Structure 1
């Protein structure tokens, strides 16, 4: 695998775009987890709904006489692909979170993104031990640390290749 950073650079720094992508994925983390759990719990029911329901008919609006069974198969495969993508993203985010060196930044990122609390709730939770500006700084530092780790793992090259 070809690395995208400079020759001899042992610990690359994530670009602003990679940091923003990391923050975007962190913001979607709890939703991805919820959808994954729902898919795991109701996969058989989702298959049956795709076959029996009208969703399979709507894959291509221009086809008036669509093969409902084939369309249902495509729909099921799409759902499975999304599930696998979410699983990959959440696993990589968890790995990168575990590599945050600053314990306060790790706790702040965990509470804000992995547990899914709002920025206000996060500030209120940590208010007794840190100032608001320190909490915000720790969240930013944690997200940047995660982006650096994701870059080192080759996540962004693989993520770009998939889309």
Structure 2
């Protein structure tokens, strides 16, 4: 976790900023969101009885990651950015379809999606 120091006071920021690596990890997590959700739903639909220990560990890890990711997305302050992240990663719409939904230039949508990913990364790194 990267902490920004005030040059004069030597104080740590209340909300630390995620590093480039943490932002990459958040994007990777968002990209895998739908697959993890499918695995969790399948295990819950078929029951936890008789599940292999390795599969149970993966189920618990996925469930925790999904809960944290959902919370981090809900905490995005900008409604448009939150909606873009939900459409693109949670609902699984393609990049092109996401761009078409907002009637903006691709670079604007890219910038807002990147800000959303950064917001998710900032929130997630506070909980780890």
Alignment TM-score, normalising by the size of structure 2: 0.86
Runs of 4+ in 1 over 3 A off after TM superposition: 3-7
| 5+ long unaligned stretches in structure 2 | 5-10
Q: Secondary structure at the match of 2:18?
A: coil
Pairing 1:152–2:119 present: no
| 5+ long unaligned stretches in structure 1 | 48-74, 156-163
Distance 1:27 1:91 in 2: 15
Q: Which has the larger radius of gyration?
A: 1
Q: 1:44-59 residue pairs with structure 2 within 5 A? A: 47=50
Greater displacement, 90-99 / 115-124? 115-124
In structure 1, the partner of 2:80 is: 104
For residues 8-34 of structure 1, what are the alpha-carbon distances to aligned partners after superposition, in whole Å with 9 as ceiling and x for unaligned? 221100000000000000000011111
Pairing 1:28–2:32 present: yes
Aligned residue pairs, count: 122
For residues 37-96 of structure 1, what are the alpha-carbon distances to aligned partners after superposition, in whole Å with 9 as ceiling and x for unaligned? 00111136x83xxxxxxxxxxxxxxxxxxxxxxxxxxx7111111000000100010111
Alignment TM-score, normalising by the size of structure 1: 0.69
